[in-house]
Amino acid sequence: MKWKKLGRIFNVAEHQLPGECIGFSQSPQALVLDDRVRFYVTMREMDSNNKFKGQIAYVDFDLALTSVIKVSEHFPIQLGGLGTFDEHGIFPMNVLRHNDKILGFTSGLSRRKSVSLETSIGLATSDDNGETFTKYGIGPVLSSSLHEPFLVCDAFVLHENDEFLMWYIYGLRWIDKAEADGTESRVYKIAFAKSKDAIHWEHTSELIIPDVIGENECQALPTVCKIGNRYHMYFCYRDAIGFRNVKGKGYRLGYAYSDDLVNWVRDDENGGLPLSEDGWDSEMMCYPHLFKVADQVYIAYNGNAFGKDGFGIAKLESV
């Protein structure tokens, strides 16, 4: 895969942000409209306990992806009420046009006592081109289950042959602080689910992407694009321990391909998106999202510091 990096196209510091947001624009997820490309991102607000909450906002670009038309002045989807799965943040929201609606697949966060958080996947719909979303119920559509005990999130959904296909992640284990140099750690991996109605999902809990850095490899934010007869997946991965401050342990982009949606070949070296020598994506690349404008394939992603300062894109030049 040969990509041309187009740099950081959105710098949070240059814009007025909705609500009480203090920055960040994590995990850009594209919705292509007639005259613009809308990126849903997660920005951060601080709550009264000085803990942050992820809020969904959008950033509109022109179709050439060179200039910002608008940053949303509102939150297109509201956080959940007391005790709900998405009470303390949504990060991210994947969007998919389906018939005359936009479907939003949210990763909702709620805080826990013994560990920092739990996550589940919710469904919301928009009838107004993604300005506002209404939730389907106040609970999730995919959450922890017998063999996926926690941290179900990061949905990426396509619709093919009358079926919704979802790639997502779930948690395998929490690692005690003592075993993880003083920081809470967890291990999570990519899995796959299918549905006829986007509400009831069938899944086998099988881990579909082989590890390259061992059993503590954390895989997140799968995104898939079909080119010809082949499915191409990007995701980000890192070591469970030391990723915040040990150089080389932070998120990088992984790559895998499949011709049958069952067997995936891990092939990071041919993914074509290594860290840059210097600059905004030199220490970390994370939260990738594949999308097409006309027939051109792009990937949006975050760079250093988990998307604190904005997001960038790269353009696919050849396969």
What's the distance, Cα to Cα, between the start and end of the chain in Å?
Answer: 5
Q: Which stretch binds another protein (CB under 8 A): 60-68, 132-140, 209-217, 241-249?
A: 132-140
Q: Under the criterion CB under 8 A, does residue 123 sit at the interface with another protein?
A: yes
* Shortest Å, Cβ 170 to another protein: 9
Q: Which stretch binds another protein (CB under 8 A): 13-21, 140-148, 208-216, 306-314?
A: 140-148
Q: Under the criterion CB under 8 A, does residue 139 sit at the interface with another protein?
A: yes
The DSSP string of 170-227 is EEEEEE-GGGTTTS-EEEEEEEEEEESSSSS-EE-----S--SS-TTEEEEEEEEEEE
Q: Which of 159, 173, 308, 315 binds another protein (CB under 8 A)?
A: 173
Q: Which of 5, 97, 101, 111 binds another protein (CB under 8 A)?
A: 111
Q: Under the criterion CB under 8 A, does residue 50 sit at the interface with another protein?
A: no
**3-class DSSP state for residue 246?**
coil
Q: Under the criterion CB under 8 A, does residue 138 sit at the interface with another protein?
A: yes
Q: Under the criterion CB under 8 A, does residue 216 sit at the interface with another protein?
A: no
Q: Under the criterion CB under 8 A, does residue 174 sit at the interface with another protein?
A: yes
Q: Which residue, among 122, 128, 119, has the nearest Cα to 170 in the 3D structure?
A: 119
Tokens standing for residue 55: 């809020």
Q: Which of 8, 38, 186, 232 binds another protein (CB under 8 A)?
A: 186
CB nearer to another protein: pick between 140 and 303: 140
Return the sign of the alpha-carbon dihedral for residues 50, 54, 56, 60. Answer: positive
CB nearer to another protein: pick between 84 and 219: 84
* Shortest Å, Cβ 117 to another protein: 9
Site for another protein in 141-160 (CB under 8 A): 141-151
Please, is 104 exposed, middle or buried when counting C-beta atoms within 10 Å of its C-beta (0-12, 13-18, 19+)?
buried
Q: Is 294 left (phi over 0), alpha (psi -120 to 50) or beta?
A: left
* Shortest Å, Cβ 163 to another protein: 19
How many whole angstroms separate alpha carbon 106 and alpha carbon 89?
Answer: 10
Contact between 89 and 107 under an 8 Å Cβ cutoff? The reply is no
Give contact residues for another protein (rule: CB under 8 A): 81-85, 87-88, 110-115, 118, 120, 122-123, 136-151, 171, 173-174, 176, 186, 199
